[in-house]
Structure 1
């Protein structure tokens, strides 16, 4: 029987992809669990913001309710925006670990570097799939030749 192997390159690529997918899963979980927090009016108004649900908590000290309505509205907006910004920072930090250059893990997420990384993964995958298709074609040809040799030696086809 013919030996079937996709080679070390494919196995290495598969391990790298499994590691990357695990990294994506962990990042996705960190982002899902992240809670942005903000406050205003000297801490009398606090807000929490999540990726799922948006504004999930808004608390106001009764003293904040004594503010004029326009000022109260402005302070609420400040707390919500601060919570949203905090969440964005957490998401950026979580995702930068996936795309930051290995020599500068503290560097902020660079969209062009992220796209280049994804492009590299896609090109690697496409190359490996091309190699896989070529190998499968060779194996199919070998199987066909083996069957012809088997039938050619006087063995009737079933």
Structure 2
């Protein structure tokens, strides 16, 4: 559906409406970029890799078979650490996307 160029005859109102439409498009573009932000991190040895959304939701977890040699608590700690760092990475990336608008 094509956007119509509405004019009211009031120059100031028309200007404000045009500005609002432009800002709305820009906001939609930014929100689309925000939705694509992810964060990633890996354990120091690379045996565990984690990917999260901008909100920190886990969307990917890779555990190398060699990591299974760790004890369960050590593996849990490595996963949690990688997840925390991935969330920090996502927050950093999110800030880069939104900084011009804040």
Which band: TM-score by shorter chain?
0.7 to 0.9
TM-score after normalising by structure 2? 0.81
Aligned length: 95
**CA offset at residue 21 of structure 1?**
1.0
TM-score after normalising by structure 1? 0.55
The structure showing larger relative contact order (alpha-carbon pairs under 8 Å, at least 6 residues apart) is 2
Could you say which structure has the higher helix fraction?
1
Could you say which structure has the higher strand fraction?
2
The answer to whether the Cα contact below 8 Å between 1:45 and 1:64 also exists between their aligned partners in 2 is yes
Q: Helix, strand or coil: the match of 1:23?
A: helix
1:38-60 deviations in Å (ceiling 9; x for gaps): 11142111011114781011001
Structure 1 unaligned blocks of 5 or more = 100-158
Q: What's the RMSD between the two structures over aligned residues? A: 1.9
Q: Give me the whole-angstrom Cα distance separating, in 2, the residues matched to 1:96 and 1:10.
A: 29
Q: Give me the whole-angstrom Cα distance separating, in 1, the residues matched to 2:36 and 2:20.
A: 24
The answer to whether the Cα contact below 8 Å between 1:41 and 1:64 also exists between their aligned partners in 2 is no
The answer to whether the Cα contact below 8 Å between 1:23 and 1:98 also exists between their aligned partners in 2 is no
Structure 2 unaligned blocks of 5 or more = 1-7
Q: Which one has the largest radius of gyration?
A: 1
2:45 is aligned with 1:45: no
Aligned residue runs from structure 1 range 139-154, under 5 A: none
